[in-house]
Every structure is written in structure tokens, then in C-alpha cells.
Chain A
Amino acid sequence: MTIHFILNGEDVSMNATSADRLVDLLRERFGLHGAQADCRRGTCGKCLVLMDGRLAPSCLLPAFKARGREIVTYEGFAQTDEYADIAAGFAEAGVECCGFCDKGKILAAAAVVERSSRPTKEEILAEMAEVPCRCTDPETLVRGVQAAAERREGRRYRRASQ
């Protein structure tokens, strides 16, 4: 079957069968290696993508579920202003993630700040539970996400008042 969807802002299509997982197609057909097929059970947080703005484990998405949806991978997200807010917020708070979980944590942070302009500690930790890697101290991570949310709000405010 041919599946049309939006990938990192571009209209794309791919041939796939019901047996294909989105994570494998992103890697093999589109060369997007940010999402990794590690546990293939939706538990490790390494294959996260944003689907219509929401966090989703791409290992639990058969290709047909992408039809008509907007998928953003880490690579696509890394080109956005929102990414810059998170990177700067993380740097400000001293968040240092390991190479296994950094992309998942950034996308999880993106989902939090998309939903809430002043995310609480509980909201942040709940979303971050998605990426179970313990390399980062939770308190620092909370500060990093809150700093990112502030930067995002500031940027939006500046844009609106221009």
C-alpha cells in the first residue's frame, strides 16, 4: 500500500506493508536514524516521534497509522525554533543527557512545553517517564524544561509584539 503523510514538514509517500513499523521505515527509507528500534515494545523511549504534535513510540506504529498524519522526527525538530528553546533551556540548567536518551528527552520536553507554557514539576516528570534512562538528575531536568518553556514564551511574546 502507498501511504502519504507529512514528514518533517514535507509531503512524502512510501510503499509499506501491514508488517512494517514506522521506526524502521524512517530509518531505512528516509535515512532518519534519530529514532532507534531498540525494545520494539514501546518502553525504552528511543523511537519517539511527534505525531500531530503528540509524543508517540514509532515502534508501536504500523506504517498505515501514519497515513495523513504529520510526523516530526528528532532531525526535523532539531531545525525548529522550539528545539533552540529546549537546547538553550537545558544548557542553562546544566542538563546533560547521555547519547542513548538525549533525543527522546528533547522530544518529551517538546511535548510538555507544547501543552503548557508553565509546566509544573509533576507534569514534566510524568512526561519524562517516557524515557526511563536515569542519566540525568530529575530536578535538573525539571529546571531545564521550565527554562525552555520560559524561553519559548519569551520568543512568542517578542514575535507577537513585533
Chain B
Amino acid sequence: MRVSEIHAPSSLAEVLEQRRRLPEAAFYAGGTELLREQAGRFLRLPPEIISLGAVPELRQVALTERFVEIGAAVTLAEILELRENAVPELLAVALRGVATPAIRNLATLGGNLATRSRFMDSWPALACLDALAEFRDASGSHWVNVNRIADAEGLPAPPAGALLSRVRIPLERWDAIAIRKVGLRDYPAAETAVFALAARAEKGILSEFRLAFAGERSLRLREVEARILGRRLPLNAKERRSFSGDYREAASSLPPGLKQQFGTLVDGALDLLSR
């Protein structure tokens, strides 16, 4: 049985001080990911744990007209209970799809976004919304676009060792949104992923189009999005074929089951714009 040292700071300053003293310590938020694969009698936690549950700064939610800022230790259930329109529907739908209510009572947004082994369900929605995540370390506070939490190969890359303190999510009007979770069996397995789409039109012209897909890897094609933007709706058959081809080509590195499902979802999204 391995026994770990648990540190339970009660302020953000204390968390950062403990992180400075214990660079190898693991942050513990809801623990649902850290404990997910541990079916043994005794838990095996990293030797040093910094528990984030009692840090008020990480539990705050601030709402302005233009964005909502959610502390990293706010649970998914608490986010879903915020008043109507406090959270973009795209994110709410994605969070409702995470696990079960009791898990969502423990699981935090920070833990969902900071997991390194794969992308969890909030990433595609937050990437589409162009949310910003604030990371803190000894050098100070850094705001990172959630899209940059993926490296060049599309693998999760939250800044090593840094504390994710809050997430700022723009509140914008969207005309079409979609979240689809695929490959649910044995979640999260290699062939499970989440597809997110957000689009907006002004006077019949597509003014925003964002599409993100993530499981073990993430996929967001900014170049294709840029080419779709500014098109008059509905898209014609040629445009539709061309964009579908671009996305399908980019998906060639996905596992076979996911590749096919991604292609179908992209076609569904393009169909929507072609009607």
C-alpha cells in the first residue's frame, strides 16, 4: 500500500507556494479521472498531492455581458446549475454528456481540461467557443486559448506543472450548434470522441463556422474554416463536396471507426449549411 502526502491549501497563494516547493506534486481536483482506472482495494495516488477542493479563488464564477469566467475547481454539476444563458449551450450539452450525475458532482472543469492522457469532453466545445484558460506558475499568470492546449500533432498539451486557475468563455449568439459523442462503449477508449460545431450567419452569409473533434487526438482545421467563412448560404454542391473532402483527408490519421463517424458528422454539418 502506497501512502501519499496530502496538502490542502486554503488559498490560491498557498497553492502556488506549495507548487513551488513541490514541483512533482499532482493537483487533485474531483479525483474522478485520477481514480478512474483504480479498481484495487487501496488507492494508489502520486506521492505528493495538492488538493484543490478548499481554494475559494478556484471555486468562483464571474459573469459579465461578454463572457463567463469559471474557476477550475467548480464542478460540472455546479456549472450545469448556473442560471439560464450563464453558460453557452454548446458547453452545457457537452457537460451533460459527461459520465453520470454523481460523477459530475465531483468532477471539475479544470480536471476535465487539464487531463493529459487524452482530450476529455469539454475540450471540443471550449475550443469552438475560443475559450481562454488561465494557467499559473512561478512566472505568473498566462492566458492560453483552449485550442493551444493541443500540440502540433493534436495531442493534449496543457502547460507542464502549471495550475489551471480559471476558464474564460465568450458569450456569443450562435445560430447552429451541435455536440455528438461517438463510440460510447468503455468510455474513454481509443475510439471515443466528441464532435462540436458552432456556426453563425449574418444576412445569409456565413460569418462564423467552427468545428472541433477530439478524443485521443484533436482536430480543428482553421484553414478550412477560413475558406468556408464568408460563403453565401446555402452552400452549393461543389462547395459542400470540396469541404467534405478537406475534412475527410485531415481525418485520415484517426482510428478507422472514428474516421468514418467523423466523416458522417462533417457531412451532416455541411448538409445543414446546404439547406
Contacts and interface: CB of A to CB of B under 8 A. Distances in A.
Contact of A56 (B5, B44, B96, B102): B102
A42 B3 contact: no
Contacts, number: 83
Given A18-B3, A41-B36, A126-B101, A60 B49 contact: no
Given A24-B41, A41-B39, A60-B32, A18 B103 contact: no
Interface residues of B, number: 33
B51 interface: yes
A42 B32 contact: yes
A99 to B, nearest CB: 20
A19 B45 contact: yes
Contacts of B101: 55, 108, 111, 126-127, 129-130
A152 interface: no
A1 B103 contact: no
B32 to A, nearest CB: 6
Contacts of B6: 1, 18, 64
Instruction: Give the bracket for the number of chain A residues in contact with chain B.
Output: 20 to 34
Contacts of B54: 68
A18 B51 CA distance: 12
A42 B45 CA distance: 17
A18 B102 contact: no
B1 A60 contact: no
A62 B8 contact: no
B105 interface: yes
Interface string A1-26: 10000000000000001111100100
Interface string A33-56: 000000111110100100100111
Given A19-B43, A39-B39, A41-B39, A64 B8 contact: yes
Nearest to B37: A41
A67 interface: yes
B234 interface: no
B45 A18 contact: yes
Contacts of B99: 42
Interface in A115-162: 126-127, 129-130
Nearest to A47: B102
A1 B6 CA distance: 9
Contacts of A42: 32, 35-36, 99-100, 102-103
A64 B41 contact: no
Nearest to B30: A60
B35 to A, nearest CB: 5
Which of B35, B41, B45, B99 counts the most A-chain CB atoms under 10 A from its CB? B35
Given A1-B6, A42-B102, A62 B1 contact: no
Contacts of B3: 17-19
B140 interface: no
14 contacts: A17-B3, A18-B3, A18-B6, A19-B4, A39-B39, A40-B39, A41-B37, A42-B32, A42-B36, A57-B106, A60-B35, A64-B6, A68-B54, A129-B101
Given A56-B105, A129-B100, 9 more contacts: A19-B1, A19-B3, A19-B45, A43-B100, A51-B105, A57-B102, A60-B31, A62-B43, A65-B51
Nearest 6 Cβ contacts at the A-B interface: A19-B42, A18-B4, A55-B102, A54-B105, A40-B39, A17-B3
Interface of B: 1-6, 8, 31-32, 35-45, 49, 51, 53-54, 77, 96, 99-103, 105-106
Interface of A: 1, 17-21, 24, 39-43, 45, 48, 51, 54-57, 60-62, 64-65, 67-68, 108, 111, 126-127, 129-130
